Amino acid sequence: MRAQCCAALILAAGASSIACQREAPSERQLAAAKEYTAVGRKIRWNAPSAERFGISSSDFAGASKGGAMGGAMGGDDVGENALHWELPSGWVERPSAQFREANFFVAGDERAECYLTTLAGEAGGLAANVNRWRTQVSLPPLGEAEVAALPKLPWLGGQAAYVDFEGHWTGMSGDQSEQGWRLVGLLLVQPTGSRFLKMVGPSEVIGREVAAFRALAASFHDGAGHAHGDGAPAQTAPPLSPDQATQGLPAGHPPMGSTAKGGAGQMKSETIADAPAVDTMRNASLEWRAPQGWKRGPEKTMREVTYLADAAGQVECYVTLLGGSGGGTLANINRWCTQMGAAQLTDADMAKLEQVPMAGAAGVIVKLERGADATAAAGQDLLLGAVSMLSERALFVKMTGPRDAVEAQHAAFVEFCKSLKAAR
């Protein structure tokens, strides 16, 4: 009986394996067509490849927000003012991210990035942004006059500053270390809103792609007045042609700032390279790096994170993130003034304050001594505060403690503020 069963199994196996043989057929006859009304479907005939694959037009970049369902969520819900552009050949478009309205890998090289950021208002001003970028490539900041002397290009209806720096890339939060990188960018700073187009990567890659970068910049234009559905968004005359774009700099002009090679940039890079690596911390809304020796303090509501900055635990530093503008930078700084019993600041005073890049916007730093009228708790002799207005949110960092102890943490405080960024 057992032998019978085994034989039966083998038989069945043989039969089934014969039935399972498959090979590629060379021809297939298709079944008859069906006709129906496809509800909710809008076909765009003659869509170019770029639009079909969604790799080059911002029209459809937004649709990727639909998530896992991909093609299922065809997006027609594109804002009228969305930007359009033409992807340079060989570049790869990446999904747009926070602070990155358009986002690319330059020449398909994953080290080299290019992206467009739009911020409300002047975003801290031109100089702050130029110098933020210079810091990222380990170059010393430029003075007001030098910033003013940067070449200007017409871009998106305004005059944009054009920069081309080369140096030691430390990353946006100083956590990277790459020798011989180049940063090319356009900064359009206007009270009505600012736009930044930045390309950064290894010099040899960027060098080849500068023309492509200018062409990309030239191809940017608002969707306003542009009819959707004609299938050729790039054919509308852009406000800036590639030819115009190169006017700013003569062909073969060496990138600005490259003269600093081996100078200050180099020195700074060494100190950063020597600095011990600190892990990036993050929570739901922010990422940051804690300076050496800072200890995590207890969690409190309305605070993103609290640190005790000195060994004795007397210097407290914490971060708050609020929706809205929280009354604006000046109002908030003046609250601190009240608390420390210091004189209220005016707009003029504000302008003199130290600026730092914080979470993609310009932040200001104040240092307030305790006055006679202070309401702050005892032991809070010195206050270091930083305020940064992000889009729709306000970011505050505050450090208090005994005078000398806080003073000793000044540099660390600034580093900490710089390391803050919006969590991805």
Partner 1 sequence: MKLLKWCYDALSSLWLSCILLFDLGILTWLGTLEQVNTGLFEVQKKYFESWFFIHHAGPIAIPMPGATLVLAVLAVNIVLGGLVRMRKSKATLGVLITHIGIIFLIFAGYVKMNHSADGHVTLFEGQASNTFESYHHWEIAILEQLDDGRLRETIAPQGDFELSLGATPVKLKSNDLPFELEIAHFSPNARVLPKGPMITPKLPVVDGYFLDAIELEKQNEQNIAGAYATVVERSGGARQEAILWGASRQPWTVTVAGKQYGIELRREQFLMPFTVALDDFKKEDHPRMNMPKSFSSDVTVVEGPTKRPVKISMNEPLRQDGLVLYQASWGPSNARPGDPLFSTLAVVDNPADQYPLYACIVIAVGLVMHFTRKLAKHIKSQQSNAS
Partner 2 sequence: MNTIIKLFASILATLSLVAGARAQHSHTQLPSRSAPYSAHTLELAESLPVQDGGRVKPLSTYASFTLLRFNGKSSCKTVDGTKLDATSWLLDVLFYPEQAAEYPVFKVDDIQAIEAIGLKLEGKKKRDRYTFNEIRPAISTLFERAREYGQKEERDRSTVEQQVFTLATSIDDYIRLRTHFDFAREPQSIADVPALVTVFGKDSVSFSELMTKLPELVELQGAWRNDPARGEDSKRLVQLVQTASEYTSGTETLALIPPITSVKEEEAWHSPADLFMAAFEKQSTPTPYIDMLAAFEKLALSSGDPLQFEMALATVHNQSVAKTMARGEYEKIPLEISYYKAQFITNSLVLFLIGFLFAAGMWLLPRVKALYWGATLSVVGATALVVGAIVVRCMIRERPPVSTLYETLLFVAGVGAVTLLVIEWINKQRMALSVAAVLGMVLLLLANGYETLDKRDTMPQLIAVLDTNFWLATHVTAITAGYAAGLVAAAIANVYLVTRLFGIKKNDPTFAKLLSRMTYGSLAFALIFSVVGTILGGIWANESWGRFWGWDPKENGALMICLAQLVIMHARMGGYLREFGLAAATAFQGTVIAFSWFGVNLLGVGLHSYGFTSGIHTALWSYYGVQWGLVAVCVVHYLVQRTREDAVKQALATRGGGPAIPTTQGRAE
Residues that bind partner 2 (CB under 8 A): 281, 295-303, 306, 308, 313, 316, 318, 320, 322, 324-327, 331-332, 335-336, 338-339, 373, 375-377, 394, 396, 398, 400
- Two tokens at 28? 């297939």
**From candidates 79, 80, 208, 263, binder to partner 1 by CB under 8 A:** 208
Asked whether 101 and 118 are in contact (CB, 8 A), the reply is yes
**Whole-number minimum distance, CB 405 to partner 2, in Å?**
15
**Radius of gyration of the chain from Cα atoms?**
28
Closest to partner 1 by CB, 72 or 377:
72
**Whole-number minimum distance, CB 180 to partner 1, in Å?**
18
**From candidates 29, 271, 301, 375, binder to partner 1 by CB under 8 A:** 29
Closest to partner 1 by CB, 42 or 352:
42
**Whole-number minimum distance, CB 318 to partner 2, in Å?**
7
Q: Which residues contact 359 (CB under 8 A, 6 or more apart)?
A: 286, 388, 390, 395, 420, 421, 422
**Whole-number minimum distance, CB 202 to partner 1, in Å?**
12
Q: In degrees rounded to 5, what are phi and psi of residue 339? A: -65, -40
SS3 readout for 69-80? CHHHCCCCCCCC
How many amino acids of this chain bind partner 1 (CB under 8 A)? 67
- Two tokens at 19? 């039935």
- Which string of x and - marks every residue 215-254 that binds partner 1 (by CB under 8 A)? ----------------------------------------
Closest to partner 2 by CB, 139 or 394:
394
**Whole-number minimum distance, CB 282 to partner 2, in Å?**
9
Closest to partner 2 by CB, 70 or 371:
371
**Whole-number minimum distance, CB 368 to partner 2, in Å?**
12
Residue 200's H or E segment, with its range, is strand 194-202
Residue 21 touches which member of partner 1, partner 2, none, C-beta under 5-8 Å by kind: none
**Whole-number minimum distance, CB 335 to partner 2, in Å?**
5
Calpha distance 263→66 (Å, rounded)? 48
Q: In degrees rounded to 5, what are phi and psi of residue 188? A: -110, 105
Residue 271 touches which member of partner 2, partner 1, none, C-beta under 5-8 Å by kind: none
User: Quick check: 66 binds partner 1 (CB under 8 A)?
Assistant: yes
**From candidates 21, 31, 191, 377, binder to partner 1 by CB under 8 A:** 31
CA–CA distance from 218 to each of 60, 194, 246, 258, 304 (Å)? 20, 17, 10, 25, 41
User: Quick check: 56 binds partner 1 (CB under 8 A)?
Assistant: yes
The amino acid at 38: A
CA–CA distance from 399 to each of 94, 187, 315, 329 (Å)? 38, 32, 7, 17
Calpha distance 178→410 (Å, rounded)? 27
Calpha distance 115→123 (Å, rounded)? 17
Nearest to 308, CA basis, from 319, 293, 321: 293
Closest to partner 1 by CB, 32 or 237:
32
Residues in 315-354 that interact with partner 1 by CB under 8 A: none
Closest to partner 2 by CB, 233 or 291:
291
Residues in 84-123 that interact with partner 1 by CB under 8 A: 87, 89-92, 107-109
**Whole-number minimum distance, CB 380 to partner 2, in Å?**
8
Residue 107 touches which member of partner 2, partner 1, none, C-beta under 5-8 Å by kind: partner 1
Beta strands per DSSP E along 77-170: 83-84, 92-94, 102-105, 113-119, 152-155, 158-169
Q: Which residues contact 279 (CB under 8 A, 6 or more apart)?
A: 289
CA–CA distance from 75 to each of 44, 67, 82, 102 (Å)? 12, 12, 13, 17
Asked whether 424 and 366 are in contact (CB, 8 A), the reply is no
Q: How many CB atoms within 10 Å of residue 316?
A: 18
User: Quick check: 78 binds partner 1 (CB under 8 A)?
Assistant: no
Residue 253 touches which member of partner 1, partner 2, none, C-beta under 5-8 Å by kind: none
Residue 407's H or E segment, with its range, is helix 403-408
**Whole-number minimum distance, CB 165 to partner 1, in Å?**
23
Calpha distance 43→174 (Å, rounded)? 47
**Whole-number minimum distance, CB 122 to partner 2, in Å?**
22
Chain residues binding partner 1 by CB under 8 A are 1-2, 4-5, 7-9, 11-13, 16-17, 20, 22-41, 43-47, 49, 51-56, 60, 63, 65-75, 87, 89-92, 107-109, 208
